[in-house]
């Protein structure tokens, strides 16, 4: 089963970004992070699957791109920590909060891939 948005936002509002990163509001880089994320297009996605949080974070790489392995998104495409190009939820709970922040229920499509029965028990 996969969940994908029917549409996505080309840019995120400053208010949405402030709420998304609210847990970082007391950090010195918070304002710059919100400004950077607001400066260009954002593609929001919902991933679902077995161990999706753990697997997704492995695919993303370490927060500091210098610590990320080649073949990860941050390892291959990021240059510095202050210009991180991707975010991934760190827990199911934070994913649920972030999904509810970014998407209305009617924007999500729930479907079963034709390959599902060949991949999953």
β-strand pairing of 108-111 with 2-5: antiparallel
Quote the tokens at residue 8. 């996505």
Identify the DSSP state of 111.
Answer: E
17 neighbors 41 (Cβ within 8 angstroms): no
Cα–Cα distances (Å) from 111 to 45, 48, 89, 108, in that order, read: 15, 11, 22, 10
Residues with a known catalytic role? 87
Tokens read off for 36: 């950077």
Give residue for tokens 């919100």: 34
């Amino acid at each position: 089963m996969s969940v994908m948005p029917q549409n996505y936002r080309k840019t995120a509002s400053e208010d949405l970004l402030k709420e998304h990163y609210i847990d970082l509001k007391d950090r010195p880089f918070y304002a710059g992070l919100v400004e950077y994320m607001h400066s260009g297009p954002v593609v929001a996605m919902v991933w679902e699957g077995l161990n999706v949080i753990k697997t997704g974070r492995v695919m993303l790489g370490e927060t500091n791109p210098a610590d990320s392995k080649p073949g990860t998104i941050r390892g291959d495409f990021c240059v510095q920590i202050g210009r991180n190009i991707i975010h991934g939820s760190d827990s199911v709970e934070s994913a649920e909060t972030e999904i509810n922040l970014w998407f209305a229920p009617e924007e999500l499509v729930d479907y079963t891939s034709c390959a599902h029965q060949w991949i999953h028990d």
